[in-house]
Structures are given as structure tokens and as C-alpha cells.
Amino acid sequence: MAVEDVLRLAHVLGATVLFGTGVGIAFFMVMAVRTREPRIVAHVAGIVVIADTVFTATAVVLQPLTGYWLARSIGWPLNEGWIILSLVLYVIVGLFWLPVVWIQIRLRNMARHAAAKAAPLPPAFYRLYRIWVAFGFPAFFAVVAIFWLMLTKPALF
């Protein structure tokens, strides 16, 4: 197997982990919050924080590295329009993801506190949760756009 094949595989796997973990986290968190049960929300949010730390954060670091090495190995100029736009979108995803990580930790902590007190989730939880949901949409569509750019490599500028 050629170096380019290994790099391409690593890059695609990293993109898959980023996308799959993001969609999975969103699904399980939404389903947990729909129960309105603090114990369930606390448990799922705890797993979400771990998954984001283990899988998403690792892929976030490795993805640009494998992309760079792959581009250099194949000979793609880094100033190609589709590469530049992919990187811009990647930064946008990061700008939405970083606050989401903090929000997930806060949501977990609020749910744990409510569960320990046998109280309902507080209104502040739902306000923060709505921000968490809202931040997911631009990040999701930006990742989809990056996939499209990687697959089509359009001549942009």
C-alpha cells in the first residue's frame, strides 16, 4: 500500500470519526433531553463529554495533519481554492465546536445537580441546551460542505 493510500485512508477515517461522533452525540443528547429526566440526561451528557474528548478532540488534531501530509504527498498545492475553503470551513466548525464542548460540560453538571437534588432540570439548562442545538446546525452543514469539497475538488479561484 502506497503512502498516499495510507494517508487518504487516515484522512477519510478521521473525517468519518468527526462527522459520525458529532451526529451520534447530537442524537443521543437530544433523545436524553426529551425524557426530561435529570438522571438520564446526566448519564448521557457524561458519556457525550467523554466521547467528545476521546474521539472528536483526537480527530480534530489529526485531521489537518493528515490532510496536509496527503496534499504534500499527492502534490496538491495548498493554495488550491477547495483546500483553502475547506480550511476556512474547518475553522468555522471549530468556532462552533469549542463553545459546544463547554456547554456540554455545563449541561452535564446542571443535570447531575438536578438529579442529586431529585429536582427537575432548571430553566437555565434549557436555555443553554437551545444554544447547543443552534450551534450544531452550522457546524453540521460546514462539515457536509467540506466532504463535498474533498470529493469534488472544484476549481474555485
Tell me the per-residue pLDDT of 21-44, one tens digit each, with 9 for 90 and over: 999 999 999 999 999 999 999 999
Top pLDDT among 114 and 2 is at 114
Q: Residue 157: inside a domain, yes or no? A: no
- Full residue range of the structural domain in which residue 27 is found: 3-152
Task: Determine the pLDDT at residue 157.
Answer: 77
35-58 burial, b at 16+ Cβ within 10 Å, e below that, comes to eebbebbbbbbbebbebbeebbee
Task: Determine the pLDDT at residue 9.
Answer: 95
- The phi, psi pair for 14, rounded to 5°, reads -60, -45
Contact assessment for residue 54 and residue 25, using Cβ atoms and an 8 Å cutoff? no
Model confidence, pTM? 0.90
Task: Determine the pLDDT at residue 138.
Answer: 96
Q: Residue 130: inside a domain, yes or no? A: yes
Distance CA 122, CA 131 (A): 15
Distance CA 87, CA 64 (A): 8
Q: How many structural domains comprise the chain? A: 1
Taking Cα atoms as reference points, which of 52, 49, 56 lies closest to residue 108?
Answer: 49
Q: Give the residue-averaged pLDDT of 120-128.
A: 98
DSSP state of 157: -
Q: Is the pLDDT of residue 86 over 80?
A: yes
Q: Residue 22: inside a domain, yes or no? A: yes
Q: Give the residue-averaged pLDDT of 78-100.
A: 95
